[in-house]
Structure 1
C-alpha cells in the first residue's frame, strides 16, 4: 500500500475514534497504522502481535476496544469465516468477494462482474432487489 494512502487511512481511523470520544493514544496510533498498512484480513490476535512488536505496552483489550469502535462506526468490517476467528478489513468503496483457503487460512479477494450480474438476475426473477450481499467461497488448491 502506498505510504500516502496509509497515512490517509490512519487519519480517517483516528477521526472515527475521536468522533466516538476516544483519545488517540500512542498504542492506538500503532494499531491504526498496522490496520492501514495491511492488505490482509487480520484477526484481533494477529493485530495485537504485530502491534506488541512495535510497542510492548499495548494490551489485547486495547486492540479489541479499538476494533469494536471502528466496526460500530462503519470504518472496518468484521468477517467470521467458517471455522476461524473474526477477521477485519477496511470498508472500501469497491465491492469484492472472498475465497478462503481452507488449508492456509489465506483470504483472497476477488471481483467478478459475471457473478454480480447473475445475482442481480436471480434476485429480479424472484421479485427482489439486492440491498447487500456477501459471497464467501471455501476451497483448497487443486493438485493437478
Structure 2
C-alpha cells in the first residue's frame, strides 16, 4: 500500500507552525528561510537534495546562495522540521517531518524514483522484538531497492 502524505491545514498553517517552532528555539524565520520552507512544502511528496532545493529557490530569488540553503536545511533538521535521508547514493535528501506518520521507502535502481510506503505489519514486528528480545525499538528505517512500475514496463518492451 502506497501512502502519500499531504500538508494538513494548508501551507499558511504549516508555515505558522514552523515559525513558532523556530521562535521557541530562538531562531527567526527570515525571508530566505521562509522561501526554502515554502519550496519544501510545495514539494512535500518529493525527496529533494540540497542542490534541487537550491535550484527551486533560485528560480524565485537568485540572490539566495547555496551555502544559505545548506545551513537552513541543517537548521531545519536540528529543529525537527526536516529529516535527512541517505539512500546509499552519496546524496543526502530531505523530507519534512510528518508527525506520527512513519513510513519507509522503495527506491528504483533505474530511474531513482523514491516511493513512500507504510506497512502496519512492522508495528507487529516491533512488538515481537520487544517481547522476544526484551528490546525497546524506538526507531527504524527500511529501504527496498528494485524497479518501479514504469521501469519494469520499459524493460519488458
Query: Which bracket does the TM-score occupy, shorter chain normalised?
Result: 0.7 to 0.9
Question: Take 2:65 and 2:10, find their aligned partners in 1: how far apart are those partners?
Answer: 27
Over aligned residue pairs, what C-alpha RMSD do you find? 2.1
1:133 equivalent in structure 2: 140
How many angstroms does 1:139 deviate by? Answer: 1.2
Name the TM-score, length of structure 2 as normaliser. 0.80
1:105 equivalent in structure 2: 112
CA contact (8 A) 1:71 1:78 kept: yes
Question: Take 2:20 and 2:72, find their aligned partners in 1: how far apart are those partners?
Answer: 12
1:8 equivalent in structure 2: 13
Segments of structure 2 that go 5 or more residues without pairing to the other structure are 1-5
How many angstroms does 1:21 deviate by? Answer: 4.0
Cα 1:135/1:41, change in 2 over 3 Å: same
Name the TM-score, length of structure 1 as normaliser. 0.86
Question: Take 1:2 and 1:87, find their aligned partners in 2: how far apart are those partners?
Answer: 19
Cα 1:96/1:105, change in 2 over 3 Å: same
CA contact (8 A) 1:99 1:110 kept: yes
Aligned residues between the structures: 144
Cα 1:87/1:62, change in 2 over 3 Å: same
Tell which has more relative contact order, 1 or 2 (C-alpha 8 A, sep 6+). Answer: 2
Question: Take 2:48 and 2:110, find their aligned partners in 1: how far apart are those partners?
Answer: 16
Segments of structure 1 that go 5 or more residues without pairing to the other structure are none
Question: Take 2:27 and 2:66, find their aligned partners in 1: how far apart are those partners?
Answer: 17
